[in-house]
Amino acid sequence: MTTVVKMTPMLQQYLEIKGQFEDAILFYRMGDFYEMFFDDAITAAKVLGITLTSRSSKDDENRIPMCGVPFHSASGYLAKLIAAGHRVAICEQTEDPAAAKGIVKREVVRVLSPGVVTDSQVLDDRSNNYICALARPAKAPVYGLSFVDVSTGQCLVGEVEDPSSDGSLVLDQLTRLAPAEILLDEAETETLADLKRAITAMLPGVCFTERHSRCFSPHAATELLHEHFNVVTLDGFGCGALTSGIAAAAVIIEYVGETQKAAINHIEKLTPLDLSSYLQIDDASRRNLELTQTIIGGKREGSLLSVLDQTCTPMGARLLKHNLLFPLQELESIISRLNAVDFLYQHRDIREQLRALLSRIYDIERLNSRIMLGTCNGRDLLALRDSVVSLPDCVALLNRCAGEKFTAIAAAFDPLVDIRALLESAIHPEAPVSLREGNLIREGFNAELDELIRIQRDGRQLILSLEAKEREQSGVPKLKIGFNKVFGYYIEVSRVNLDKVPDHYIRKQTLVNAERFITPELKEFEGKVLGAEERRLELEYHLFCALRSDLAAMSERILATARALAEIDFLCSLAETARNHAYHRPLIDESDVIHIREGRHPVIERGMPTGRFVPNDILLDQEGQEVLIITGPNMAGKSTILRQTALIVLMAQMGSFVPADYARIGIVDRIFTRVGAMDDLRRGQSTFMVEMSETANILNNATSRSLVILDEIGRGTSTYDGLSIAWAVAEELAGKDDKGVKTLFATHYHELIDLALTQERVKNYSVAVREWNDSIIFLHKLIEGGTNKSYGIQVAGLAGVPAHVIQRAEEILKNIEQSEFDREGDPYIARTSKPKRGRRKTHPNQLPLFQPSPDQVREFIQRLSVDDLTPRQAMEALYTLKGLCSLKESN
Ligand code: ADP
Ligand code: MG
């Protein structure tokens, strides 16, 4: 920062406050503006696109960069700064400038950062906005994680055991909820540097905030939480056994309390996040499957979320997103959700009525937080009023829904009738955004206020009668009563009538043609009217604040209802989507089977005319169909089949119907994907390295209950390297722990077809194409049996590569194919130094692969003079050859 030799007192105050908020941009209130100075001004001017000016400090040589934004439109600018990842400290004038002696007192009243904003201008109402804390106790590899959404009061606490050296497991959990801000222990800056880099690569724009180590001490944490929740044990939240998780939660609660400078009682409980109880899905797979955003562009549109989301409220939309990121693993909970969706699916009338009601309900959850934080305004309370109006009808409909899920929802649902009555009587129907302009409180709510309103309203009438009275008494017919800001009310008498002015008139102002007077009576009247106005504003503000704290005291009920509404909305949305897009209820059990008939890709089918998408069947079991090798040319539809299978499993486990005619899903513990195309360059690793580390992760962590999707692995290296790796990986998955792992393996290495010859659990499939003249037609149909045709050149032709280049390619291909095999005509791939698990004993096609070098056979053939053979001798020669072969094999 520039040092300024002589500073004005204002600047001195500025620098003093700024010193306490070094890492934030300071919004320094001056009259109707927030001003920024020095580096803050330079940064803000750039981000906000506003003019950078300068201000003289004392002497003109040291001019200070500055910029400012008007107070009344500050929220838009704040939103921009926060979206750009900045922290902003808002410094207000804390005393009346008129009453101030010397420089006006100022104080930072709130600090906003990406993780703690509650402003609706900054937040996406269909997503949670999380701040996260990561705690790592010195020894055990157990990370504590906590996520808080300040705008809704949700506080999740969990622990992740991550013995890996690079923290990849904790990274998966940390990025799952895509927090906007992460709090870290400042003492861990170095140990966590790599992790931080990895996080930044996955969550660009995330804001890190370092906190003092003291905040992370588990002991202090427990105390802080006891105090915050006013409890003596955290067992009641199911969090008694957590340590580092508790530390993380406490770090956030303390930080939020500090920055919001307000009671944060709306964070009213801890919700344990037992991360292992959900279907595990790592960060790469979440991206690959485009669950909540597309790979290209990171857009919501085109993701699974966007095709499933038919919610009517922001609360419902957030819950849907959450449930999509945390699919279930427990049979009973899945079935209970499915039953509820099924009911709403069957009962169209109830569903439609519920959705119509939900559409009229605002974001009660976030409204409640603003009430608790004291940042809500009259409009917010009107929105709350308009929302609660629909609640009794919701209850009536809920009572018509059958099933345990609905019973549980109904039990938590409070129609908030008293709140509705309170709001209807209290809030002025045209309440403005501002709290200081009046018109907040309705007439009839408070007797004193009513009286003040009456005085104001009657003021006009009183003036007219006073005017009439003065005219009569003075005999001046044209006497007028007027008002201006300088003198207040006055009586105006034109020059010609000045002689008639009574003695008690007090002269105030002389104009060209008239003079203005006041009287004690007029001033008394003025005092009453103007005083009424002022008192009214003050009183309304106080009544509003009182109302707000009354509502805050009821927040638990409001929140419970908000969450019940979210649940109803979520279930209705799944039912609605199922209806609109011909989804069917999946059969969920604890078997090892995944059986899908006529399955479709939920996103791709939407981009096509109805009926154009070709449905496919998939059967995976732990027997003959454990690892499916899927071959077929580029563009045939391999990746689509892989992804749709993973998506169907995931949807089923979140309780949704699925895009298939029939689906039996044996519950899966983890979904792994390794998808070749579109690699993560941001991570700064080479494509091949990323691919291999993901593959390693799969091999190390997949269990017999996992579903593995491998799309074209081994692409990033030379053909033979790649092929060998692919082969070994598939072999390992088929035999892992003697049970194997359910795997769909799409590959362009058609050599892998031969794997089925040696592995019982491996089966070949291919995606059919039809040859048509020199070209091919994609049928997108999965059929049994592999294909060894890659049709690369035909696909190139379809893509518009010029004909003569295609011709030349065909020529080259022929040359290569001739030399692809060694002189024995043998592929090497299948050879091994040790016996294979699950190898088939005999198979007619197995011979050419595992036969030793056929010297004698070759010799025999070389000696054969083909032209001289009779048909009978030819037959005999064949038998001899056959004999030689079986001799070899039995060796
Ligand atoms: P591959 O992985 O075999 O190269 P993709 O799965 O990427 O092929 O599919 C290529 C394109 O083919 C998709 O973008 C889609 O437009 C179309 N496609 C794939 N599967 C189907 C299907 N079952 N029905 C209709 N079109 C499909
Ligand atoms: Mg593909």
pLDDT tens by residue, 423-436: 999 999 999 888 88
Report CA(638)–ligand 1 centroid distance (Å): 7
CB 665 within 8 A of CB 652: yes
Residue 60 has pLDDT above 80, yes or no: no
pLDDT category of residue 860 using cuts at 50, 70 and 90:
confident
| Pairing state between β 514-518 and 207-211 | unpaired
Mean pLDDT within 797-813: 85
Domain shared by 591 and 573, yes or no:
no
- For residue 691, give every residue at least 6 positions away whose Cβ sits within 8 Å of its Cβ, in sequence order, or none: 674, 676, 679, 713, 714, 715, 716
Domain shared by 829 and 862, yes or no:
no
Mean pLDDT within 343-371: 95
Q: End of a domain among 565, 581, 597? A: 581
Angle 279-679-320 from CA coordinates, rounded to 5°: 35
Ligand 1 atom at minimal distance to the Cα of residue 607: 16
Report CA(745)–ligand 2 centroid distance (Å): 11
791 Cβ closer than 6 Å to some ligand 1 atom: no
What residues does 782 pair with on adjacent strands?
A: 767
280 Cβ closer than 6 Å to some ligand 1 atom: no
Is residue 126 helix, strand or coil? coil
Report CA(636)–ligand 1 centroid distance (Å): 6
Is 302 domain-assigned?
A: no
Q: Does the annotation list 764 as a binding residue?
A: no
Cα distance between residue 669 and residue 657, in whole Å: 19
CB 599 within 8 A of CB 616: yes
| CA dihedral sign, ordered 696, 700, 701, 704 | positive
Cα distance between residue 240 and residue 231, in whole Å: 12
Domain shared by 174 and 267, yes or no:
yes
Q: What is the pLDDT of residue 72?
A: 83
The CATH number covering residue 74 comes to 3.40.1170.10
Is 279 domain-assigned?
A: no
Report CA(634)–ligand 2 centroid distance (Å): 6
What total number of domains does the chain contain?
A: 7
For residues 623 and 325, the model is more confident at 325
Mean pLDDT within 674-680: 60
780 Cβ closer than 6 Å to some ligand 1 atom: yes
Q: Which string of DSSP letters, residue by residue, matches 46-103?
A: HHHT---EEEE-SSTTSEEEEEEEEGGGHHHHHHHHHHTT--EEEEEE-S-TTT-SSS
Cα distance between residue 570 and residue 218, in whole Å: 36
Q: Does the annotation list 634 as a binding residue?
A: yes
Angle 743-745-749 from CA coordinates, rounded to 5°: 155
Which amino acid, 746?
Answer: A
User: CA of 53: how far to CAs of 35, 65, 66, 70, 147, in Å?
Assistant: 11, 6, 5, 15, 41
Domain shared by 177 and 240, yes or no:
yes
pLDDT category of residue 59 using cuts at 50, 70 and 90:
low
Cα distance between residue 8 and residue 3, in whole Å: 13
Residue-wise pLDDT for 64-112, tens only, equals 899 999 988 888 899 889 888 889 999 999 888 777 788 889 999 889 9
Mean pLDDT within 412-440: 92
779 Cβ closer than 6 Å to some ligand 1 atom: no
Cα distance between residue 203 and residue 179, in whole Å: 8
pLDDT category of residue 57 using cuts at 50, 70 and 90:
low
635 Cβ closer than 6 Å to some ligand 1 atom: yes
Q: Which ligand is nearest to the CA of 767?
A: 1
The CATH number covering residue 194 comes to 3.30.420.110
Q: What is the pLDDT of residue 811?
A: 82
Residue 833 has pLDDT above 60, yes or no: no
Residue 603 has pLDDT above 70, yes or no: yes
CB 242 within 8 A of CB 275: no
Q: What is the pLDDT of residue 854?
A: 56
Is 48 domain-assigned?
A: yes
Mutate which of 613, 635, 745, 777 to test ligand 1's pocket (most atoms within 8 Å of Cβ)? 635
| Pairing state between β 662-666 and 594-599 | antiparallel
Domain shared by 703 and 785, yes or no:
yes
Domain shared by 266 and 138, yes or no:
yes
Lay out the sheet containing 707-711: strands in order across.
280-281, 670-675, 707-711, 742-746, 627-631, 762-772, 775-784
Domain shared by 634 and 743, yes or no:
yes
User: CA of 844: how far to CAs of 201, 751, 857, 879, in Å?
Assistant: 51, 17, 19, 17
Residue 802 has pLDDT above 70, yes or no: yes
The CATH number covering residue 392 comes to 1.10.1420.10
Q: Taking Cα atoms as reference points, which of 323, 310, 308, 291 lies closest to residue 352?
A: 310
Q: Which ligand is nearest to the CA of 638?
A: 1
Ligand 1 atom at minimal distance to the Cα of residue 711: 2
Mean pLDDT within 386-407: 96
Q: Which ligand is nearest to the CA of 606?
A: 1
pLDDT category of residue 500 using cuts at 50, 70 and 90:
confident
Q: Taking Cα atoms as reference points, which of 722, 775, 784, 781 lies closest to residue 753?
A: 784
Is 758 domain-assigned?
A: yes
714 Ramachandran zone, left/alpha/beta (phi>0; psi -120 to 50) = left
Domain shared by 509 and 464, yes or no:
yes
Is 550 domain-assigned?
A: no
Is 118 domain-assigned?
A: no
Percentage of the residues of the chain whose pLDDT score is greater than 70: 92
Report CA(622)–ligand 2 centroid distance (Å): 25
Percentage of the residues of the chain whose pLDDT score is greater than 90: 47
The protein residue whose alpha carbon is closest to atom 22 in ligand 1 is: 614
Mean pLDDT within 353-363: 96
428 Cβ closer than 6 Å to some ligand 1 atom: no
For 574, other C-beta atoms within 10 Å of its C-beta total: 29
Report CA(635)–ligand 2 centroid distance (Å): 7
Which amino acid, 67?
Answer: C
Residue-wise pLDDT for 197-237, tens only, equals 888 888 888 889 999 988 888 888 999 999 999 998 898 89
Residue-wise pLDDT for 241-266, tens only, equals 888 999 999 999 999 988 887 778 88
Ligand 1 atom at minimal distance to the Cα of residue 633: 3
Domain shared by 690 and 759, yes or no:
yes
Max mean pLDDT among 434-438, 671-675, 836-840 falls in: 671-675
Phi, psi (deg, nearest 5) at residue 218: -60, -35
636 Cβ closer than 6 Å to some ligand 1 atom: yes
Is 434 domain-assigned?
A: no
Q: What is the pLDDT of residue 824?
A: 47
Phi, psi (deg, nearest 5) at residue 146: -140, 145
Cα distance between residue 796 and residue 370, in whole Å: 58
pLDDT category of residue 819 using cuts at 50, 70 and 90:
low
What residues does 91 pair with on adjacent strands?
A: 28, 108
Helices (H) and strands (E) in the chain, counts: 29, 27
The protein residue whose alpha carbon is closest to atom 18 in ligand 1 is: 637
Cα distance between residue 266 and residue 376, in whole Å: 14
The CATH number covering residue 742 comes to 3.40.50.300
| 472: its two tokens | 């009569």
Residue 838 has pLDDT above 90, yes or no: no
Q: How many CA atoms lie within 13 A of 671 on its CB side?
A: 34
Domain shared by 611 and 467, yes or no:
no
| 285: its two tokens | 């797979």
Domain shared by 381 and 500, yes or no:
no
Cα distance between residue 373 and residue 266, in whole Å: 8
196 Cβ closer than 6 Å to some ligand 1 atom: no
Is 729 domain-assigned?
A: yes
Domain shared by 771 and 669, yes or no:
yes
Cα distance between residue 107 and residue 14, in whole Å: 10
User: CA of 538: how far to CAs of 50, 103, 219, 460, 487, in Å?
Assistant: 35, 25, 45, 22, 23
| 320: its two tokens | 């849907």
Q: Does the annotation list 158 as a binding residue?
A: no
337 Cβ closer than 6 Å to some ligand 1 atom: no
Q: Does the annotation list 138 as a binding residue?
A: no
Report CA(767)–ligand 1 centroid distance (Å): 10
Domain interval for residue 823: 802-835
Mutate which of 604, 709, 791 to test ligand 1's pocket (most atoms within 8 Å of Cβ)? 604
DSSP label at residue 427 = B
Name the strand (E) or helix (H) holding 243: none
For the chain, give the mean pLDDT.
87
Cα distance between residue 341 and residue 449, in whole Å: 50
355 Cβ closer than 6 Å to some ligand 1 atom: no
Cα distance between residue 655 and residue 405, in whole Å: 12
